[in-house]
Amino acid sequence: MLSRLLKEHQAKQNERKELQEKRRREAIAAATSLTEALVDHLNVGVAQAYMNQRKLDHEVKTLQVQAAQFAKQTGQWIGMVENFNQALKEIGDVENWARSIELDMRTIATALEYVYKGQLQSAPS
The pTM (predicted TM-score) of the whole model is 0.48
pLDDT of residue 52: 95
The whole-angstrom separation of Cα 80 and Cα 115 is: 51
What integer is the mean pLDDT of 112-118? 87
Residue by residue, DSSP assigns the chain as: -HHHHHHHHHHHHHHHHHHHHHHHHHHHHHHHHHHHHHHHHHHHHHHHHHHHHHHHHHHHHHHHHHHHHHHHHHHHHHHHHHHHHHHHHHHHHHHHHHHHHHHHHHHHHHHHHHHHHHHHHHS--
Mean pLDDT, the chain, as a whole number? 90
4-48: pLDDT as tens digits = 888 888 999 999 999 999 999 999 999 999 999 888 888 888 889
The whole-angstrom separation of Cα 30 and Cα 97 is: 99
